[in-house]
A and B are shown apart, each in its own frame.
Chain A
Amino acid sequence: MEQMDLSLVDWSRAQFALTAMYHWIFVPLTLGLAFLIAIMETFYVKTGDEFWKKTTKFWMTLFGINFAIGVATGIILEFEFGTNWSNYSWFVGDIFGAPLAIEGIMAFFMESTFIAIMFFGWNKVSKKAHLAASWLTAIGANLSALWILVANAWMQYPTGMRFNPDTARNEMENFWDVLFSPVAINKFLHTVTSGYVTAAVFVLGVSSWYLLKKRETLLAKRSIVIASVFGLLSSLFLVMTGDSSAKQVAEKQPMKLAAMEGLYDGTTNAGLVALGVLNPQKEAGDKRPAFLFKVEIPSALSILSFGSSSAYVPGINDILKGGYMYTNTDGKSEIAKPTAARISDGKKAIAAFGSYQTAAKAGNRTEASQHLGVLNDNFKSFGYGYLTHPKDIIPNVPLTFYSFHIMVTLGFFFIALFVASLFFAFNDMLTKHRWFLWISLLSIPLVYLAGQTGWIVAEVGRQPWVIQDIMPSVAAVSRIDTSSVMVTFMLFVLIFTMLLIAEIGIMLKQIKKGPEGEH
């Protein structure tokens, strides 16, 4: 394992990242637009005004285009688990199996059935039944997302499982611990809410284009109001869940937090970098400044991470060296171990795991039990045993730092955007401020950038781990030819590009046709 070809790991990671990022182009709009459509249809059912029916059907068509191009792109991720990440798939099989099976069944039955009623059911089922189908499509899509996010949260904070040394699989001990882990709840809420903001900005941007073209004025103005209220409420909730996420990261993934903030040397009263340029020469352990330039909010990082300005936030160097006090996942204060010591513990765990197998096969129960004890005692550091150097636990700092700051900046920008659009809408000033309409339109790519950078923070920031502290990517990957991964990577670039061009092309054509176009 230590001699593993690193290019295989890198290509496998690149392929998975490409697929996941492509999948995430479609998912957020589906999650949010489904609710916006349901809200608009509720106005139709309540008022009986045909205008709302026409508006609902228009946005439903765009929802359908996005859904059709995006549907099943997530399945490729499951293919990749089985082919490229077989050690990992085996290791987590039982934990992942249940949530993914539920996700598959729910997605198929709930979304497929209710989406069919949404699109085919106009004038065939009652207004209320149709409205119910629209709401259930939205709820179903969001519940589907729940299960995959629960699985992802488990990788960030493994809980509710027991490692079976006879099969090398993690077995679920408590389904509810996995489902209701604080990381899972927060990840679900933060992620789906980001989808709501995506959809709100999409509706705002498309509607602004109509106002710029002096078309569909009523549809555009009313859609802007609904999208802005929905977007503003979602954005405020997003800030709350983002804050909770940061606190969880500080507690459970301190290295990720240090990378997010470019923090090399820990301190109390740690400041939050509002704006900064990292020093590209900076390496862990050296004396160079971490930033070429930065603007800091004093003590904000300590307060946001641990609720107190006097709280100590460890930096990258501190996590490598250990020796600082922290609260462990059981809620007890303890001194952090140096990473080198954790690597040593991990190697002990791996050696004990191997010795346990030998003793168990030889029928030597006493010896097997002793090795099992060593394995269990050191299992929390199991994954460290595959690393060769303490610095291996440092993720890509610039990518994590800039992604985090782009995501947060855009998040606050969208709040300002929704507030401004509501101000202009309620004062009937939207059409007078074309600059604002242009900003709204150009915000559509920005909201996708925010979503993608959010996932980069979550996933790049936790490298080298596929399962936090338990399994690094180098141990998770299948031993297959690097060239085959490179070929499929290129193939995906081609397929995904074609599909994306198709989506954007069909979407733009339909937007140009407007609500009177074919459905």
Chain B
Amino acid sequence: MEDKQRKTVLHKVFQFYYEGFKRMRLGRTLWAIILIKLFIMFAILRVFFFPNFLKKNFDSDKERSEYVIEQLTTPKK
């Protein structure tokens, strides 16, 4: 019984979003812009241009902290 009720609620929520997206007109253009933007951000910029410097170059927090300590305490030549 509870399971059935939960399914009905989930179905209603799904229908709410489904109908909302289906009826969109200007919203479709906006969603297209959002998705293209998110793709550029996460699939291109994040992957190819913005790796996390410390995560990429060091395996553990200990190594990361040692690197930063060295950076902060040793003048570079």
Contact = CB atoms under 8 A, between A and B. Distances in A.
Nearest to B54: A86
Given A3-B75, A90-B68, A510-B26, A69 B33 contact: yes
Q: Which of A119, A168, A350, A491 has the most CB of B within 10 A?
A: A168
Contact of A4 (B30, B34, B69, B76): B76
Nearest to A4: B76
A116 interface: yes
Interface residues of B, number: 39
A348 to B, nearest CB: 12
Which one of B20, B23, B40, B50 has the highest number of Cβ atoms from chain A below 10 Å of its Cβ? B50
Given A82-B52, A357-B69, A518-B26, A499 B37 contact: yes
B69 A478 contact: no
B55 A82 contact: yes
Contact of A116 (B17, B30, B34): B17
Interface string B8-37: 000000001101110101110111011001
Contacts of A499: 33, 37
Contacts of B68: 86-87, 90-91, 168
Nearest to A66: B30
A359 interface: no
B27 to A, nearest CB: 7
Q: How large is the interface on A (under 10, 10 to 19, 20 to 34, 35 or more residues)?
A: 35 or more
A519 interface: yes
B76 A3 contact: yes
Interface in A153-197: 166-169
A212 B67 CA distance: 62
A91 B67 CA distance: 12
Interface in A463-519: 475, 478-480, 484, 487-488, 491, 495, 499, 502, 506, 510, 517-519
Contacts of A124: 16, 19
Nearest to B20: A120
A2 B30 contact: no
Given A82-B55, A87-B68, A354 B73 contact: yes
B38 A72 contact: yes
Interface of B: 16-17, 19-21, 23, 25-27, 29-31, 33-34, 37-38, 40-41, 45-46, 49-55, 61, 64-65, 68-69, 71-77
Interface of A: 1-4, 61, 64-65, 68-69, 71-72, 75-76, 79-80, 82-84, 86-87, 89-91, 116, 119-121, 124, 166-169, 350-351, 353-354, 357, 475, 478-480, 484, 487-488, 491, 495, 499, 502, 506, 510, 517-519
